[in-house]
Amino acid sequence: MTSLYVGFVVAGTEYALAASDVLELEAFSGATEVPSTLPHVEGIVAVRGKVMPVLDLRTLFGHERVAPTRDTRVLVTRRGARVVALRVDSAREVLKLEPSQFQSAPALAAHEAAAYVSSVCMLGQRLLLILALSRLLGEEDEHHDDEQRRLIPNSSATGPHALPSRGDR
Amino acid sequence: MTVETNLKEFFTAYLVEMGEYLVAANTQLLALEASLRAGGANPRAVRETFRALHTMKGLSAMVGVEPIVGVAHRLEEFLRDYDKRGTKPPLASIDVLLRGVRTIELCIEELGSGSEPHPIPDNLFRDLEAIEPSGQSLEAPPPALSLAPDLVRKLAPFELAQLTQAEQSGQRALRADFCPSPERAAAGLSIATVRERVAKVAEIVKILPLSVPVSPDAPGGLAFALLLVTSESDAAIADAIGVPATTLSALCTPSADAGAALDVPLPAEDRQEPVRDGGAPQRSSLRVDVARLDDVMERLSALIVTRFRMARAVATLEAAGANTAEVTAILGETARQLRDLRAAVVGVRMVPVADLLERVPLLVRGLRRQTNRQVRLELVNGNAELDKSVSERLFPAIVHLVRNAVDHAIETPDERLRRGKPQEGLLRIVCASRSNNRLDVSVEDDGRGIDAEAVARRAGRPAPQSASELLDLLCVAGFSTRQVANTTSGRGMGMEIVKRIVVGELGGELELETAWGAGTKFTLRVPLTLSIVDAFLFECRAQRFVVPVSTVEEIVHVDPDEIVYGPRANDRGPAVGVIARRGRSIPIVMLRELFNWGAAEASPKAIVVKRAGAALAFGVDRMLGQQEVVVRPIEDPLIRLPGVTGATDLGDGKPTLVLDLIAFSEVLSAGRHRAESPS
């Protein structure tokens, strides 16, 4: 069974996400900043009338944020009811990958961003890192949820529970 | 495929319709119960409940929901006897009947969530059979009805009962005759319009057609006798029918002459079927799926955004030296038309506040029994209307407050007597619309009030100095459900949820007034509509923001030199200064500092908001103007923050944040709380 993946580049490394997670690819010219969010939340954008957050994968993967270029793209991804845009340096290809090409990612275990990578794919000489969308969106890690509630960034010492928690349902 | 879709649509319609008849049945049963308790009868309520059950049976048979058919049939049969004989059912039956209706409701809920309905508990039918008929028959026609016997014969027992018992409920039974004629028809008076007009001032018990001798007043030889029950004046009724007030006659007074004078014998050969009694005036209405209205609203929103874009393009042209006078005029006209269209669409989505509260009496009744409290419920609806989606979100908050009031606030009857209060507690819910598109809903009880010190002890915080601080304490997440509700007089079960709904989801305000020993009043202040609001535009570090006009008290000019900064409690968070405003001091925070966006520029403007009566100013770089904006909700947890209610498109294709400064002020005071608390 071959599956479709969307390939893209972040800070010189090739990554891919399952095509079933990606709704569309859009050019990117800047987001509206939302104060007091996590560092990798670049802000919000509207795509076809729908407002969604943009995550800068460069920042999330530990690189410096750069100004958008003509190649910069956002991948509009969907997970359950959430729609989130991911900013990448460039994105062009849709890849057909065979299960035999996948390997688990033990070599990355020590890497700080290892949690985001679910497997590695060999494509001839190319190495593709396959990302797990749920982890990019912070869904398997409760700390993200707590942190995003902090409105005043450096007030964390007294704990997140003192704030009205609008984020949880 | 099509057939299946149709069936599904039909089934959805079935569920909605059943919901309405269930509400009707509950309401009528509660009205019946109230009458029975007061020692009276309420044949109309019996009749209406019977009708609702009958309709539910029919509808359910059509879609093949057998359990409901069974229950509805049995309840209907039970009521049929009383309806036929015009007697009143025993008080004890109301409980069983309500349980029966609840059983149907549960089935509908289960069907709605896609599961099979449970079988009907058999004890329901047993309990129904166990109820002895009360036998207080009203069958013997009551004496004082001044109506010709052949007319009396045309009335059903419950109709007779209704006329004779009008006095008990402080009303009068009247007869008025209307003769159709070409002149009256030309003036817009036909039996149909008369019925509609009369229904507004009186309850129509029956309309009987009569054949009368041809006369100038009755050129057709036809008259209608309207038998009414009303509390309005004769003049109001006569006016609705278009006859002199002197032609009205009372049906239930000892003086029989007036009535007899108007009685007209009805020749046997002219007998007709009575005109179906009018009841409520028939208004033509349409049931529309809310999703379709949302779709209309969505398209309208897109149109408004397009207009913003057009306005920007015109501004660019004008800046380039083009003559845009005509286009600008057209733009202005479009703006007006869009505003009208918006008002029309918003109007379609409005539902009466009364609808919101119609389920409260049943809720209170259930709580009364669970808690053994005696509670009198007073509902003051006014005639306010609010958006359907607001109404739906608001209801759970009201349920929480009502539950808290009966459960925690109102004392047991014994305790109330000891404290010198009437045995029966009072729960009062008042809805009133305010001028600035807001609705106030207050839930008030005369119970024991909230013990602020006990609450503070439980929370491990210093005692609150004001009602708003106490409210903050009550609304802390997870505060009372575990720690307070079962041990002390505290309430607060679900207060966090109430606050999240009112403040978080609806962008409203929550207020508390409480007096120890005397009672508590919660006021929920919510916008009547969501999605499109009038907003102020402002700028902060070259980024534009909007803030709804309805949340702003005033916009003031601030001279930076006038801001006084006191000692800072710690070096965390933004610096809070103080400005003098009309003889009062107002705290001021620079929005830039709040956002951690570096030091503020010399800030000439500040937006003042009020939270729980206390003013707070937010310094911004520049005010840009005021316009209507379409608010799109921000839902993703990564960007859902207190103080950010949504985003809007001002026409540049980029989202602009819609801020709720009142929520920011709350976060700030929470921050101060932390600084003050011993931990």
DSSP string over B473-507 = HHTSTTSHHHHTTTTSS---TTHHHHHIIIIIIT-
Q: Do A163 and B657 touch (CB under 8 A)?
A: no
Average pLDDT, stretch B645-668? 82
- Report d(CA B19, CA B32) in Å as an integer: 20
Is pLDDT at A9 greater than 90 in this prediction?
yes
Strand pairing class (A126-131; A13-18): parallel
Distance CA A102, CA B672 (A): 53
- The answer on pLDDT for B359 being more than 80 is yes
R_g of chain A computed on alpha carbons? 17
On the question of pLDDT at A22 being above 90, the answer is yes
**Claim: this prediction has a pTM higher than 0.90:** no
Q: Is the pLDDT of residue B140 over 80?
A: no
Interface test with B, best of A34, A76, A137, A146 (most B CBs within 10 A): A34
SS3 B461: coil
Residue B366: CB atoms within 10 Å: 14
- Cα B381 from Cα B351, distance rounded (Å): 12
The nearest alpha carbon in chain B to A148 belongs to: B638
Res B679: pLDDT: 33
pLDDT at B418 over 60: yes
Looking at per-residue pLDDT, the higher value among A69 and B529 belongs to A69
Which pLDDT score is estimated for B530? Answer: 67
Phi, psi of B273 (to 5 degrees): -65, 135
Q: Which residues pair with B434 in a beta bridge?
A: B438
Residue with the bigger pLDDT between B253 and B168: it is B168
pLDDT of residue A43: 93
pLDDT of residue A112: 57
Look at residue A148 in the predicted model and tell me its pLDDT: 37
Instruction: Give me Rg for the CA atoms of chain B.
Output: 31
Which pLDDT band holds residue A19 (cuts at 50, 70, 90)?
very high
Query: Which among A85-94, B344-353, B384-393 has the top mean pLDDT?
Result: A85-94
- Look at residue B131 in the predicted model and tell me its pLDDT: 76
Output the pLDDT for position A109.
Answer: 54
pLDDT of residue B253 exceeding 60, the answer is no
pLDDT of residue B571: 59
Q: How confident is the model at residue B427 (pLDDT cuts 50, 70, 90)?
A: very high
**Under an 8 A CB cutoff, do B654 and A32 touch?**
yes
Distance, in Å, from the CA atom of B552 to the CA atom of B618, rounded to the nearest integer, reads 11
Among A87-91, B54-58, B279-283, name the one with the lowest average pLDDT. Answer: B279-283
Quick one: closest CA in B to A36, which residue?
B595
Cβ contacts below 8 Å, chain A against chain B, sum to 123
The amino acid at B245: A
Residues 6+ apart with CB under 8 A from B315: none
Q: Which amino acid is at A124?
A: G
Q: Which amino acid is at B559?
A: D
Considering only alpha carbons, which residue of chain B is nearest residue A49? B302
Q: Which residue has the tokens 């930076």?
A: B560
Alpha-helical (H) ranges within chain A are: 57-60, 133-136, 142-148
Cα(A79)–Cα(A83) distance, integer angstroms: 6
Which residue type, as a one-letter code, is found at position B44?
Answer: R
Neighbour tally for A40: CB within 10 Å: 20
- The per-residue pLDDT for B14 is 82
Nearest chain A Cα distance for residue B658, angstroms: 11
Report in angstroms the alpha-carbon separations of B474 from A162, B68, B318, B454, B611: 13, 43, 56, 11, 16
CB contact under 8 A, A41 and B639: yes
Q: Measured between CB atoms, which of B596, B655, B674 is closest to A36?
A: B596
Mean pLDDT value across residues B370-374: 85
Asked if the model's pLDDT at residue A84 lies above 90, the reply is yes
Tens digit of each residue's pLDDT (9 = 90 or more) over B483-505: 444 433 344 457 888 887 887 66
Q: Among A5-14, B191-200, B333-342, B595-604, which stretch is predicted with the lowest mean pLDDT? A: B595-604
CA distance A137 to B638: 8
Q: Mean pLDDT across the stretch B278-287? A: 58
Strand A50-56 versus strand A41-47 pairing type: antiparallel
Alpha carbon distance B89, B163 (integer Å): 19
Question: Residue B481 — very low, low, confident or very high, per pLDDT cuts 50/70/90?
Answer: very low
B92 phi and psi angles, rounded to 5 deg = -65, -20
- Which residues of chain B have a CB within 8 Å of the CB of A76? none
Instruction: Give yes or no for residue A89 having a pLDDT over 90.
Output: yes
CA B394/CA B382 separation, integer angstroms: 17
Q: CA-to-CA distance for A25 and B16, rounded, in angstroms? A: 41
Sign, CA dihedral B445-B520-B503-A140, equals: negative
| Phi, psi torsion values for A52, nearest 5 degrees | -145, 155
Distance of alpha carbon B20 from alpha carbon B23, whole angstroms: 5
Residues B421-450: b if buried by 16+ CB within 10 A, e if exposed: beeebbbbbbbebeeebbbbbbbbbbbbbb
* Per-residue model confidence as pLDDT tens digits over B256-268: 333 333 344 444 4
* Cross-strand pairs, A53: A44
| A6, B617 Cβ separation under 8 angstroms | no
Taking Cα atoms as reference points, which of B103, B28, B48 lies closest to residue B72? B103
Predicted local distance difference test score (pLDDT) of residue A150: 38
Chain A residues near residue B634 by CB distance under 8 angstroms: 44, 51
Q: Residue B449 — φ and ψ, nearest 5°?
A: 80, 175
**What is the model's pLDDT at position A1?**
72
| Mean pLDDT along residues A68-90 | 92
Q: Is the pLDDT of residue B234 over 80?
A: yes
Which residue does chain B place closest to A167, by CA atoms? B637
CA distance B323 to B317: 8
Residue written as token pair 């026609």? B141
Q: Which residues, other chains included, contact B435 with Cβ-Cβ below 8 Å and sequence gap of 6+?
A: none
Inter-chain residue contact B673 with A38, CB threshold 8 Å: no
Please indicate whether, in this complex, the C-beta atoms of B638 and A30 are within 8 angstroms of each other.
Answer: no
Q: Which of A55, A81, A163 sits opposite B667 (nearest CB)?
A: A163
Neighbouring CB atoms inside 10 A of B606's CB total 24
Interface residues of chain A, partner chain B, Cβ below 8 Å: 30-38, 41, 44-46, 49-53, 55, 81-84, 137-138, 144-145, 148-149, 151-155, 157-158, 161-168
Name the residue with higher pLDDT: A78 or B574.
Answer: A78
Average pLDDT over residues B392-399: 87
The Cα–Cα gap between B507 and B660 comes to: 7
Nearest CA in chain A to B459: A162
Q: Which one is predicted more confidently, B32 or B133? A: B32
| Mean pLDDT in residue range A26-47 | 89
> Comparing B405 with A107, which gets the higher pLDDT?
B405
pLDDT tens for each residue of B2-47: 444 455 666 777 888 888 888 888 888 888 888 888 888 888 888 8
pLDDT reported for residue A147: 38
Q: Check CB contact under 8 Å for B636 and A164.
A: no
Work out the pLDDT band at B546, boundaries 50, 70, 90. very high
Q: Per-residue pLDDT for B137 more than 60? A: no
d(CA B567, CA A95): 61
- pLDDT at B138 (0 to 100): 42
* Inter-chain residue contact A84 with B637, CB threshold 8 Å: no
How does pLDDT run across B143-164, given as a tens digit for each residue? 457 777 777 777 777 777 777 7
Phi, psi torsion values for B615, nearest 5 degrees: -85, 150
B671 vs A contacts (CB less than 8 Å): 152, 155, 162
Query: Whose CA is closest to B384, among B345, B357, B344, B359?
Result: B357
In this structure, the dihedral spanned by the alpha carbons of residues B32, B33, B34 and B40, taken in order and rounded to 10 degrees, is 70
Residue from the list A36, A81, A144 with its beta carbon closest to the beta carbon of B641:
A36
Burial of B656 (0-12, 13-18, 19+ CB in 10 A): buried
For A104-153, write each residue's pLDDT tens digit: 766 555 455 567 888 888 888 888 899 989 888 877 544 443 433 333 33
Question: What's the mean per-residue pLDDT of chain B?
Answer: 78
Q: Say which amino acid occupies A154.
A: N
Which amino acid is it at B346? V
Model confidence at B60: pLDDT above 80: yes
Cα A129–chain centre separation: 13
Residue A103 has pLDDT above 50, yes or no: yes
**CA atoms within a 13 Å half-sphere pointing along the CA-CB vector of B256:** 8
Q: Which residues of B touch A149 (CB under 8 A)?
A: 641
pLDDT band at A6 (very low <50, low <70, confident <90, very high): very high
Comparing alpha-carbon positions, the chain B residue that sits nearest to A149 is: B641
Which stretch, A69-78, B262-271, B292-301, B390-399, has highest mean pLDDT?
Answer: A69-78
Cα pseudo-dihedral B663, B669, B671, B677, rounded to 10: -150
CB A31 within 8 A of CB B647: no
Q: How remote is the C-alpha of B539 from its chain's centroid?
A: 38
